[in-house]
């Protein structure tokens, strides 16, 4: 794991690839292009970390 290369992510500045945003009918979901963290879009346009289960946390 090269977590040290993801400094912007540590400050919540994840890289959103808009072309990869998925819409599951309720949420817009994307994975950070740097760290792979699952993000969901809130009303108002801010991205936040998805609430994920233990099984997904290791992915
Ligand atoms: Zn990230």
CA of 31 to the centre of ligand 1 (A): 8
Task: Judge whether residue 5 has pLDDT over 90.
Answer: no
CA of 25 to the centre of ligand 1 (A): 24
Mean per-residue pLDDT of the chain: 82
What would the two tokens of residue 51 be?
């609430």
pLDDT at 3: 53
Neighbours of 31 (CB within 10 A): 19
CA of 16 to the centre of ligand 1 (A): 8
d(CA 39, CA 41): 7
pTM assigned to the model: 0.69
Task: Judge whether residue 13 has pLDDT over 60.
Answer: yes
Q: Taking the chain, what is the end-to-end CA distance rounded to the nearest angstrom?
A: 12
pLDDT at 11: 87
Q: How confident is the model at residue 28 (pLDDT cuts 50, 70, 90)?
A: very high
């Amino acid at each position: 794991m090269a977590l040290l290369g993801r400094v912007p992510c540590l400050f919540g500045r994840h890289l959103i690839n808009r072309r990869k945003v998925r819409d599951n009918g309720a949420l817009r979901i994307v994975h950070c292009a740097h760290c792979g963290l699952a993000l969901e879009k809130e009303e108002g346009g801010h991205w936040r970390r998805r609430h994920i289960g233990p099984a997904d946390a290791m992915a």
